[in-house]
Amino acid sequence: MTEKLYDVNSHLKEFSATVLFCKDKKAVLDKTAFFPEGGGQTSDKGYIDGVKVLDVKEENGEIYHYLEADIETGKTVDCKLDWEERFDKMQNHSGEHIISGIVHSLFGYDNVGFHLSDREMTMDFNGMLTREDLKRVEQLANEIVWRGAKFNCYYPENLENLEYRSKLDLSENVRIVEIEDCDMCACCAPHVENAGEIGIIKILDFCKNKNGIRIWAVCGKRALLDYNNRYQNDLKISSLLCVPQTEIAKSVEKTLENIESLKYEIGGLKRRLIAEITNSFVSECKVSVLFQDGFDIKELQLLSDALHKKTGDMIAVFSGADSEYSFAICGESEKLDGWFKDFKSKLNVRGGGRNGMVQGTVLNTKDEILGVINELD
C-alpha cells in the first residue's frame, strides 16, 4: 500500500519514490505526496520523472497516478507537485473548514456538500442563512485567519468521546483536522499549518439549495484575483460614468432611471409615429409591405394591426437589417394561414401565430423578402 506523505507533511513539494507498478499510463508508487481526488476536492497535479501527472485517484485502497506516458516499473523517480495549485487548494479547503465550523457552532447546520476545483469552491448547508448571517460568519472566519489559528491533522487512537464533524458515519482510519479554538472535522485532504497562510476568506454569493443554502467563497490568492477583477471592472465603470468608484452604484441607479424615462418617452413617440403612418398609409396591392427602422416586435404588431384595420388588406411590416428582420403580418385568418405557410417555405423564417396575426424573424435580405411576397401576391 502506498505511503501517504501528504498526511504527515502538507507542504512537501518534491520527493523521491519507487515505481511499484505502471501500465497503460497508470502508475503506483511506494509513497506519494500527490493527493488523490476525494472529499469533494480534485486531485493534485505535477510531474513524475518529467512525465506529467494528469490525475490521481484512490481505488480499492490503492493510489493510482494517471500519466501522459508510462514510466519504468522498479525505478526510483523524482516527483514534483504543482505547488501553486496545491497551495491554492489548501488555502480554500482550510478556509471552508473555518466557515463550516463557524456555521455549525452558530446555527447548528451541517455541511452536506462540498466542491473544490481549480476554478470554484461551493459549500452546501442543511439550513437557511441570511446575507447578514453570512457577513457575520465571514467576519469571524477572518478573525481566525488574523490570529493565525493552528491546524493539527492526525489520526486519533480513540474516537470515543471525541466530538467532531463528519459527513459520513466513520468508525476507523478517521483523520481529524483540528483548528485551534474553532473546529474539529474528519477530513482526508492536506491543509495549511496555520490559518494565517489562508490570507483572507471572502464569501461571494449564496442561493437556496434544496432545504438549505449553497455558498460560493474564495480564499487566499483566489480572493486577491477576484478583488483585482472586480476592481478593474469598477475602475472601467467609474471611468465610463465619470464618477468616483465609491459612487458607481448610485450613478448606475440614476442612469437606469434615466433609461426607463427615455424608454417611456420613446414609446410615446413611436405610438405617435404608428398613428401618423396609419393615417397616411395607402394600400396599393393585396399584400402591403412596409419596412420600418427601430421597431420591436410589439410595435410591429401594433402597426400591422392598425394598418389592417384601416385597409382590410393583409399587411406585412418588417424591421431590422438584411438577413435579420423581425416581422408582424396581419390579415384575415383563412387567407393569412395559407399565405404564411407558402411564405415560410420559400424563406428562412421562424415564427407563427393565430387569429389573424403572425410574427417572428426572417433571415433573408430585403430584396429576397420582397421577391417572394411579389411572387405570392
pLDDT of residue 362: 95
**Which pLDDT does position 295 carry in this prediction?**
94
- The confidence score (pLDDT) of residue 60 equals 87
Q: Compute how many other C-beta atoms are within 10 angstroms of the C-beta atom of residue 221.
A: 15
Q: What is the pLDDT at residue 171?
A: 64
**Residue 286: all three cell numbers together:** 393585396
Please give the Cα distance from 122 to 166 (Å, whole number). 17
CB 177 within 8 A of CB 194: no
Low-confidence ranges of the chain (pLDDT < 70): 169-171, 284-285
Per-residue pLDDT, 285: 67
Of 317, 278, 323, residue with least CA distance to 295 = 317
- pLDDT at residue 133 in the model: 98
Write down the pTM of the prediction: 0.78
For the stretch 314-342, pLDDT in tens is: 999 999 999 999 999 999 988 899 999 99
